[in-house]
Structure 1
Amino acid sequence: MKSRVRRVTLFALYQLCLVAGIAMMPLAIAARQAGVTLPIHRLIAGVGEAYENAQ
């Protein structure tokens, strides 16, 4: 039961990170033009990997 709750929580967190990444796209484009990159891809990859390991 505990692992199921963890898996569902990680899935929800992964989906939330994807939505946040999509919502921040205009900011990321503006930041890239200024020469700065946002590390959103690392956050999404880390949460995605944790979710895959929980399965």
Structure 2
Amino acid sequence: MIERVYRSSVFALYQMTIALGILAMPFALAAQRTAGRAPPIHRAVERLERTYEDAKP
């Protein structure tokens, strides 16, 4: 039961991180143009994806 709650929570966090990355895209592109550096959102997405994949049965 706890594993199922954990898996669901990780999946929800993963989905929210993807949505945040999509919503932050215009800001990341503007930061890339002006400062030459974009925020590292891809690291959070990759980490949560790995965590979710490890939590699968």
- Taking structure 2 as the reference length, the TM-score comes to 0.93
Q: CA RMSD in A?
A: 0.5
Give, in angstroms, the shift of residue 12 of structure 1: 0.3
Give, in angstroms, the shift of residue 36 of structure 1: 1.3
Percent identity (aligned): 44
* 3-state SS in 1 of match to 2:19: helix
Q: Look up the match of 2:27.
A: 27
Q: Distance in 2 between matches of 1:30 and 1:18?
A: 19
- Which structure is higher in RCO with an 8 Å CA cutoff and minimum separation 6? 1
List gaps (5 residues or longer) in structure 1. Answer: none
Q: Look up the match of 2:15.
A: 15
List gaps (5 residues or longer) in structure 2. Answer: none
Query: Any idea what the Cα deviations from partners look like across 1:5-49, whole Å, max 9, x if unmatched?
Result: 000000000000000000000000001112112100000000010
